[in-house]
Structure 1
Amino acid sequence: MAQNRFHSGTGPSQRQLRVGELIRRTLSDVLLRGDVHDPELNRHSITVGEVRTSPDLKVATAYVLPLGGHDAEEALAALRRNAGELRHLVAKAMTLKYAPQLRFVLDETFDRMDDTRRLLSEDRVRRDVESHPEDDED
């Protein structure tokens, strides 16, 4: 297979990003409409924060979080249990050569943001940041 001369391989390609975003939107719509025939899954309001695809676009990892973060493990188990049906519904709405295998992972972005805010609000960190005002004068 020919190498892509426009992609250096250090991160996801434009195609991976574009397909990941399309899968994210489609998956969000499917979950919002409640198209899956599982009442346990449909009772959760699930946010799909990001979808990352493999370079061959055959595997898509969706980073999800139930609204409010409550019952996260239960929602994740329901998503994994219904991955086949979700794959079918997503593939039906898209025009890809292969329907990507869907994997679900809890999105920890919000937890990391909270940890960062908490860390930056600590007195010793605030003193350190305030003691170097010359960094801001560029």
Structure 2
Amino acid sequence: MSMRTTRVNELLRAELAELLLREVKDPRVGRGLVTITEVQVSPDLRRAVVYVSHLGTDEERREALEGLQHSAPFLHRELVHRLTMRNVPELIFRFDPSIERGARLAELIHQVRAERGEADEGD
């Protein structure tokens, strides 16, 4: 990945996070906690895949992704006004399960420690 695409990824991530926090009014996006975890622009900078995590139910996650995709044209317009890029990439939203996976692993580690602690006390 070139330095340019890395800079564009970070710039888009920061601007989109700000827009989601302050400008997007879609109630589907407001349910649960939506976080932008990563942005990956294509080498030609025409498309950007925006990975989001969502803490909430599966139904809320599905609705949040629908809300984000529905808000994509608005977000694109706002980015055009905010950024000094010749072409602002098309936004595609995808779910990133890494935070949920990490929380699940932490829960499993906690369970194993608790079981070992109980077994050590009993011996």
Given the alignment of the two structures, is residue 97 of structure 1 paired with residue 108 of structure 2, yes or no?
Answer: no
Q: Distance in 1 between matches of 2:74 and 2:19?
A: 10
- 2:35 — aligned with what? 47
Alignment gaps of 5+ in structure 2: 114-123
What percentage of aligned pairs have identical amino acids? Answer: 32
Counterpart amino acid of residue 14 in structure 2 = R
Measured in 1, the distance between the counterparts of 2:14 and 2:51 equals 12
Partners in 1 of 2:48 and 2:66 — Cα distance? 17
SS in structure 1 opposite 2:77?
A: helix
Match of 1:64? Answer: 52
Distance 1:65 1:106 in 2: 6
Residues paired across the two proteins, number? 110
2: CA distance, partners of 1:116 / 1:43: 26
Q: Which has the higher contact order (CA 8 A, sep 6+)?
A: 2
| Structure with greater proportional helix content | 2
Residue 18 of structure 1: CA displacement? 0.9
CA drift at 1:113: 2.6
Question: How far has the Cα of 1:109 moved from its partner?
Answer: 1.1
State the one-letter code of the partner of 1:110.
Answer: I
**TM-score normalised to the size of structure 2?**
0.75
Query: By how many angstroms is 1:47 displaced?
Result: 0.7
Q: 2:63 is paired with a residue of what secondary structure?
A: helix
Please state how far the C-alpha of 1:114 moved relative to its aligned partner.
4.2
| Larger radius of gyration between Structure 1 and Structure 2 | 1
Alpha-carbon distance between aligned partners in 2 of 1:106 and 1:52, rounded to the nearest angstrom:
13
Aligned with 2:85: secondary structure? coil
Distance 1:42 1:112, change over 3 A: closer
